[in-house]
Structure 1
Amino acid sequence: MQHAFEPLTPDLVLDALDSVGLRGDGRLTALSSYENRVYQVQLEDGSAVVAKFYRPERWSDAQIQEEHDF
C-alpha cells in the first residue's frame, strides 16, 4: 500500500501547511533526516517553519508526542 508519504511533493507539503493556517511562499528546503521527511518552509509573512512528516506505521502517537514534548 502506497502512502501519501512516498510521493510527497512540494505542493503536498504546502497544502498540508495551508490546512493548518500556515501560508508558504513556495520556498522549501529539504533538511537531512534518516527516515522522515523534514522541510524548512518560508512563509508569506517572512517567517519560516520546519515541517516534519513522519514515515507511516513507524512511530506510535505516543512516540511522536514524546518527541514534540522534548
Structure 2
Amino acid sequence: MENDVLKRFMKYTEKSNIQRSGLVRAHNRRNLSVMLIASAVAVGTYVLSIYAISRDRHLDESFDRLPDYQPGKY
C-alpha cells in the first residue's frame, strides 16, 4: 500500500515537473526574443544617431522649424 502511494506520487510529480519545464522554456524563449528585439532597436537607434551626427544632421534642427501658417488651409 505504502509503495503504491509513493509510486503514484512520483508519477504525478514527474508529470507536473515535465509540464512546468515546458512552460518555463516557452517563457524563457519569449523573453529572449523580446530582449533581442529591444536590443536591435537600441543598437539601430544608436547607429542611426551616429550616422546623422557624422553627416551634420542633428535631429533637433528639423524639429525647431515649423511650417508656415496659412489661414484657411487647415
TM range (shorter): under 0.3
RCO greater where, 1 or 2, for CA within 8 Å and sep 6 or more? 1
Per the normalisation by structure 2, the TM-score is 0.18
Larger helix percent: 2
Greater share of strand = 1
